Structures are given as structure tokens and as C-alpha cells.
Amino acid sequence: MRFRHCPEGNEMEKAEKIWMNGSLVNWEDAKVHILTHALNYGTAVFEGIRVYQTPKGPAVFRLREHITRLFDGCKVLGIDPEFGGKTYSIDDVIEAVKTTIKANKKVDYIKPCVFLSGEEVGLNPVGVPASLAITCIYMGSYLGSASTDGAKVITSSWHRPDNLCGPSGAKVNGWYVTSCLAKREAVRQGAKEAVMLNSTGHVAECTGENIFILRNGKIYTPQASECILEGITRGSVIEIARSMGYTVTETQLTRTQLVTADEVWMTGTAAEVVPVTSIDGRAVGSGKIGEVSEKIREKFHEIATGEDPKYDRWLEYVN
């Protein structure tokens, strides 16, 4: 069954079962009450995780790192991992993710979400019960043909919220309103993505991706303190690029450095590695996909699909 997340987006496919607080329920029965605290106030944390087909069967890319980040997010929000009367460990949630994948036919993306599920009016989150839902879908390519043809991006007029407004480094659902505003701006301008600056005017990241540049043969990406989500793909790409012999520096980047870079690419679980070919109507480098971004994109794909045994430790096999 196909569904479309936005008119400009690609179609995605629903799965059959969703895991909710320890039970597998049918897709159409995974419902919450209108007064759910998280629905009204954004009090939830989530993850986006990819499953790849490998020669050894389906494998989840860096599952432990994703679930650890989910638990870190719960800690930041003060949510205890108790769902449906049971306390869950990271290992329990890893198993629940695998169970959910096995219960569905066609899965390439998993979205676990911990949310304050109590029916509440009022901001006080203390004592409001939490739930965990694990949804699987078939997403395909998140940014469509941009993965292979290169993406046109804009700089958003919305800033990435800073660390004084809330936990920039956590995947808090309410935080994503800014990303949605920036994405709307991009789509309305015929672009695939939006780059968000932070409150000091430095480059932070895109709406759901981190960003890298290549200048004079060296790779740079905004450092963690620039109000970014420390992406798991970002960390993987830093390690891959270093092992390929490139110097990678986590630093502050200005908008000028971004638009005059020789190459630019984005990284994220949904998007994977996507070269950027234009920013605010200015061509990046030659305006064609850069050689380094292409090499990294290919290597990332090889690793994620189980074709490089050196990185087998990043794959959690489902069966």
C-alpha cells in the first residue's frame, strides 16, 4: 500500500505491523488519543534507521548507535524507558526492532518513537506515561534522483534552534517544526533541501541531514557545538573519509566557505550521501557531482550493503 508524504516527495510503502508497547498491531490500529501529551506539545524523541539487503540477509545499519541515541534523547527529556508497564533496556529495544522488521514484508526504514502518551492538558510532563512505537516502511530514495544527480539546496531564513532554546543534539519531535518550516521554504523554491545556519550565523546542517564541504582537497564539517544533530551517517562518513586518506576537520563554517566550496554533500540515514550541485542558485564547483563526494557515496553504499567485511561491525543482521 503506497502513501505519499508530500506532493513533491516520493511515494513510500506502508508495512503491515507496528510494534506498540510490546505488541504487534495492524498498521491501521496503531492509534493514539487526541489529547496525547506528545501530539500537543512535541514531547517525544525518535530515530530513523535504515535496513539494507546484504549477501548475509537484511542488516540494520548501526542499530546500537541509533537506539543508544534514542535512550540519550529520553534522558535529556527526562523520560524513563518504561512502556506498557515494563522497563526496557537498549538490548530489549534492539530486539523489538528486529521483531518488527521480521513481522513485515518489505522494509528499508524503521522509525522508533518514544512519546509521552498520557492524555493530558497542561505542560507538566512529570509523571505522564510514555509509550514506544516502532514503525517500518519502505521508503526508497528519500531525496529521489538527487542522490545520483545532485541536489539543489537553498539557505533557509529559519535558524537551527540553539542549545539555549533546548537540546539541539537530541532528536526531539517538537524540535522538528523548524526543520519542517525550512523544508517548506526549500520545496516552494523548487529545491530539494534547505541549509540552516545557527544563531551565530555559521552553517549548522540541513533539515534532516548533516553537511560536508571539500576545499583544496580537505574535508570540513560543522562541529557538534554548532547546534547540529551529531548524525550517525556523519560519524560514519568521517571515519570512511579518513580511512580513504582524506583530512576531515570538525569546525565552524561560514556561508561564504559553503558557497565557494569545491564540493558539498549531505549525509543522513534517510538521504544517505547526497551530493549538492547548487546553493541559492550558485553552482557548487563545476555544477556537476564532485569526485570526492561520489567516491564517498559509493563506499558508504558498499559498506551498508555488506560488501566490505572491514565494516561488518556496523551491521546488525536481522536473522
Residues that bind ligand PLP in the complex, under the rule CB under 6 A = 48, 179, 205, 208-210, 229, 231-234, 267-269
| Residue of 17, 171, 183, 192 marked catalytic | 171
Nearer to ligand PLP, 48 or 81 (CB): 48
**Residue 185 to residue 144: CA distance in whole angstroms:** 18
What does the angle CA 237 – CA 240 – CA 246 come to, to the nearest 5 degrees? 100
Nearer to ligand PLP, 128 or 220 (CB): 220
Taking the complex as a whole, the smallest distance from the CB of residue 229 to ligand PLP amounts, in Å, to 4
Cell numbers 563526494 correspond to 293
> Annotated catalytic, 299?
no
Angstrom distances, CA of residue 254 to CA of 141, 193, 202: 29, 18, 5
Taking the complex as a whole, the smallest distance from the CB of residue 106 to ligand PLP amounts, in Å, to 21
**Residue 213 to residue 111: CA distance in whole angstroms:** 28
Cell numbers 508497547 correspond to 21
Nearer to ligand PLP, 98 or 234 (CB): 234
Q: How many Å from the N-terminal Cα to the C-terminal Cα in the chain?
A: 25
Give the residues across from 285 on adjacent strands. Answer: none
Taking the complex as a whole, the smallest distance from the CB of residue 304 to ligand PLP amounts, in Å, to 12
Taking the complex as a whole, the smallest distance from the CB of residue 203 to ligand PLP amounts, in Å, to 12
Q: Which three cell numbers stand for residue 24?
A: 504487534
Nearer to ligand PLP, 128 or 134 (CB): 134
Please identify every residue annotated as catalytic: 171
